[in-house]
Amino acid sequence: MTMRKLVTAMVVAVLAGSPATMGFAQQPDANGTFTLKVQSDIVLTNVVVRDKKTGEVVKGLKAADFTIMENGKPQKIGSFDYQNVDEAAVLHETTTVTGKATIADLLNRNLAAAPGELRDHRLMVMFFDLSSMQPEDIDRAVEAAKDYVNKKMQPADLVALVSLDTALSMDQDFTANKASLLKGLGKYNGTEGTGLANGGNGVSDGTADNASSFTADDSEYNSLNTDRELYAIRTIAKSLERVDQRKSLLYFSGGLTRNGIENQASMRAATNEAVRANMAIYSVDSRGLEALSPLGDASTGSLRGNAAYSGAATQSRLDSNFSSQEVLGTLSADTGGKAFFDSNDFAPVFQQVQHDTEAYYILGFRSTNTARDGSYRHLTVKLNRSDVRMDYRPGYYAPADFQHSKTEDRELQLTEQLRSDLPATDVAVYLQALYFRVEDNRFFVPVSLIIPGSQIPFLKNGDRDKANIDIVGQVKNGEGIAVGNIRDTVKLALDQTQQVQRKNIQYSTGFTLAPGRYHLKFVVRENQTGRMGSFETDLQVPDMKKSPLKLSSIVLSSQRTPNTEKKVTNPLVRDGVEWIPNVPHVFRQDQHLYFLYEVYDPARQKSAPAQSASPGLTRRASGPVRVLTSIEFLSGGVKVYETPLVEATVMSNPERGAVAFQFDVPLTQLKPGTYVCQVNVIDDAGGSFSFPRLALMVQAGGAAAGTKASGVEEPAAGSRALTAAPKL
């Protein structure tokens, strides 16, 4: 079960935003003069020209000999270059071009510090998708790569090694050193824990098969698998954008299966990034030539019924094999490479790469179509002679800003970030998760998400400022299985007064969970510029059956809002009022500090008769309880204030077996600073106790009134309170 609520926390703050620019933008300077900025991207395409009769590369052509058209419209060639490996400067066998060996280094633009060293060289990236290959497939691919390095690698060849198992790894930067390459390739042999991506056997994504692993259903598994690997290809391509020369990615895979429109968006993103980086993909199905028996092989269970003796089973296996190769074929076709399927001889792929990159022309142009809509644009290259044939990629995806991206692309962006191990940090996000027992073995977990208002660019619409944010979240249990999901779009419309006072936007939701260990991750995106932020944390929902004193989370709040819903299962809603958790634990002196917590199943008098409990809860004695509680505030280890001791003798909520405590502590007489708040809870009848502590912070503010604790006598006015050091 989930619930949602949005709260705008009002604190004085001024939001400064700048309009997004795309294509053209006019901005005044200090003197009021407008400057016109034009955003334009150069499109590069490689063209291999060969004689029709001999197949030899045609050399000596000039830019004026070519005509390039985009969607049938001629384009002006702005850059022209000719690369010929015969003219390569001979590098020493031990040379490594960059000396860097991580994907992070590549993404930080540390590749090819001296780009001139790469000129007239053949740049090859061998990408081993270990997560989709069985051990025998890895052996087959590695042996073919070693054979190329030992026997067919040429002086002009520079090779890099990249692998994907549980994470993307740069194993060897571009080098001509055969010993380094052979050592790197040898590490892939005998890899343990790899899974079969398309057959549903083994374990997912290279995770070891142990007690914590699980196998998802086909649609979820394949979608995740494909997205991971396409994202890896995008990362590799992006790291090579700065190198103008043609790059060849040899992609060794056990096959990819694509399901649904999200993966189509993934495909566009991957091919577009490869095209932008001038990288052709040569896909290799490392499974080689397979005998697709309708009865299956030893890795699959037996078929039931008579389906194995009809054409349906054979057709099903053929369709499955084709779908796992279709993605690989599309990657190659759309990037100007070639796909190699159904063969146990992988040598031709290396020969093809060498053949395609021995000499080629690089044509560059700036498109006359300035729309940044992400649409596919067809390319046509013509030459002023008819005795040749040309090889080049058929088109590319136009660049797209967030405002022009399609709905499925936007959804994919959120999903990818939710799955990514690399957090998004463009938007600051803070999260807090609490727990309250609603049944003997079920807990309600309220989750609060904070987004600073300064992170959200609002657009002025009349007398109101408007914006909207997308929120996606997921809860996984200890086995990594998703047990809760949230997907929401929140629309904000604030008047001018609120714009001046706005500080935080707080989003609330909740899940009903059993005791156990969970991992929460939420991703937020503001939909003006597409910037994202993420927050993830572990949560332990306790098993209270053996706890001497059963205590809920302690809620600290500075804001309570009316909630008139008739049927409410959220323990934060009481007597028509909802408590809004203060996530950072930062308060002002002119605010009230509200406390809320519950004690479950406190001990009764021994002579008390039994009482019937509601369904789902154990039977509890009906005698009086005696639970004592107070709150202390410490500064520098010294107690500066303590609330009067409060005694509860009856159940606040007998159906849930709960005794609830609510405190209202004004902060006006507490000095600004950081404090430690200790909550003292004693079950006098049971002889158990608990003293949880929280950190708080108090900031300078205005004046307020005295202190109250709900349900008990009002203590003396002028008492002091405290707040907590923020955990942001």
> 696: closest CA among 553, 586, 583?
586
Predicted confidence at residue 110, as pLDDT, reads: 47
Predicted confidence at residue 273, as pLDDT, reads: 82
Question: Which pTM value belongs to this model?
Answer: 0.50
φ/ψ region of 255 (left if φ > 0, alpha if ψ in -120 to 50, else beta) reads left
Predicted confidence at residue 436, as pLDDT, reads: 95
* Cα distances (angstroms) measured from residue 331 to each of 137, 142, 344, 412, 608: 20, 22, 21, 18, 74
> 669: closest CA among 720, 716, 708?
720
Contact 208, 191 (CB under 8 A): no
- List pLDDT tens digits, range 447-457: 998 888 877 88
Which residue type is seen at 60? G
**Cα R_g (the chain), whole angstroms:** 32
Predicted confidence at residue 536, as pLDDT, reads: 83
Predicted confidence at residue 88, as pLDDT, reads: 59
Mean pLDDT of 651-659: 90
Q: Is pLDDT of 488 > 90?
A: yes
Predicted confidence at residue 56, as pLDDT, reads: 87
Mean pLDDT of 113-129: 76
Residue 242 DSSP code: T
Contact 131, 195 (CB under 8 A): yes
Which residue type is seen at 189? N
Mean pLDDT of 95-108: 45
Lowest-confidence region among 128-132, 235-239, 492-496, 630-634: 492-496
Mean pLDDT of 648-663: 91
Across the chain, mean pLDDT equals 74
Q: Which residue has the higher pLDDT, 310 or 647?
A: 647
- List pLDDT tens digits, range 661-719: 999 988 887 889 889 999 999 999 889 999 999 888 888 875 433 334 433 323 333 33
pLDDT band at 65 (very low <50, low <70, confident <90, very high): very high
Q: Which long-range contacts (CB under 8 A, 24 or more apart) does 52-59 make?
A: 52/387, 52/388, 52/389, 53/387, 57/358, 57/359, 58/388, 59/84, 59/359
Q: How far apart are CA 507 and CA 6, in angstroms?
A: 4
Could you give phi then psi for residue 519, rounded to 5 degrees? -120, 125
- The structural domains of the chain, ordered by start, are 2-13+411-545 (2.60.40.3880), 122-357 (3.40.50.410), 555-709 (2.60.40.3880)
Mean pLDDT of 186-207: 45
Task: Provide the total of helices (H) and of strands (E) in the chain, helices listed first.
Answer: 9, 42
Q: Which residue has the higher pLDDT, 364 or 325?
A: 364
Q: Is pLDDT of 194 > 60?
A: no
Predicted confidence at residue 584, as pLDDT, reads: 82
pLDDT band at 63 (very low <50, low <70, confident <90, very high): very high
Which residue type is seen at 441? N
Could you give phi then psi for residue 65, rounded to 5 degrees? -80, -15
pLDDT band at 37 (very low <50, low <70, confident <90, very high): very low
Mean pLDDT of 543-553: 91
Give the list of residues 6+ apart from residue 301 with CB closer than 8 angstroms, or none.
none
pLDDT band at 383 (very low <50, low <70, confident <90, very high): very high
Q: Which residue has the higher pLDDT, 684 or 216?
A: 684
Contact 385, 49 (CB under 8 A): no
Q: Which residue has the higher pLDDT, 17 or 233?
A: 233
Predicted confidence at residue 477, as pLDDT, reads: 93
Q: Is pLDDT of 726 > 50?
A: no
Structure tokens at 112: 């090819």
Mean pLDDT of 41-58: 86
Give the list of residues 6+ apart from residue 281 with CB closer than 8 angstroms, or none.
233, 249, 251, 274, 331, 332, 335, 337
Contact 125, 249 (CB under 8 A): yes
Q: In degrees to the nearest 10, what's the CA dihedral of 182, 186, 357, 153?
A: 30
Q: How far apart are CA 586 and CA 722, in angstroms?
A: 10
Strand partners, 548: none
Predicted confidence at residue 663, as pLDDT, reads: 92
Share of the chain above pLDDT 70, in %: 68
Predicted confidence at residue 155, as pLDDT, reads: 82
Structure tokens at 529: 């510029």
Q: Is pLDDT of 307 > 80?
A: no
| Pairing, β 502-513 against β 2-10 | antiparallel
**DSSP helix/strand/coil, 322:** helix
pLDDT band at 215 (very low <50, low <70, confident <90, very high): very low
* Cα distances (angstroms) measured from residue 199 to each of 129, 139, 300, 497: 16, 19, 8, 59
Q: How far apart are CA 531 and CA 525, in angstroms?
A: 6
Predicted confidence at residue 690, as pLDDT, reads: 92
Which residue type is seen at 225? N
Mean pLDDT of 375-401: 85
pLDDT band at 646 (very low <50, low <70, confident <90, very high): very high
Predicted confidence at residue 633, as pLDDT, reads: 92
Structure tokens at 44: 């590069």
pLDDT band at 534 (very low <50, low <70, confident <90, very high): confident
Lowest-confidence region among 104-118, 125-139, 143-157, 592-606: 104-118
Predicted confidence at residue 21, as pLDDT, reads: 32
Residue 425 DSSP code: B
Predicted confidence at residue 466, as pLDDT, reads: 81
Could you give phi then psi for residue 554, rounded to 5 degrees? -105, 120
Residue 711 DSSP code: T
DSSP per-residue letters across 542-599: --GGG-SSEE---EEEEEEEE---SS---TTEETTEEEEE-SS-EEETTSEEEEEEEE
Q: Which long-range contacts (CB under 8 A, 24 or more apart) does 141-144 make?
A: 141/188, 141/252, 141/284, 141/286, 141/346, 142/185, 142/186, 142/188, 142/189, 144/345, 144/346, 144/347, 144/349, 144/350
- List pLDDT tens digits, range 319-358: 566 667 788 888 888 888 888 887 888 888 898 888 888 7
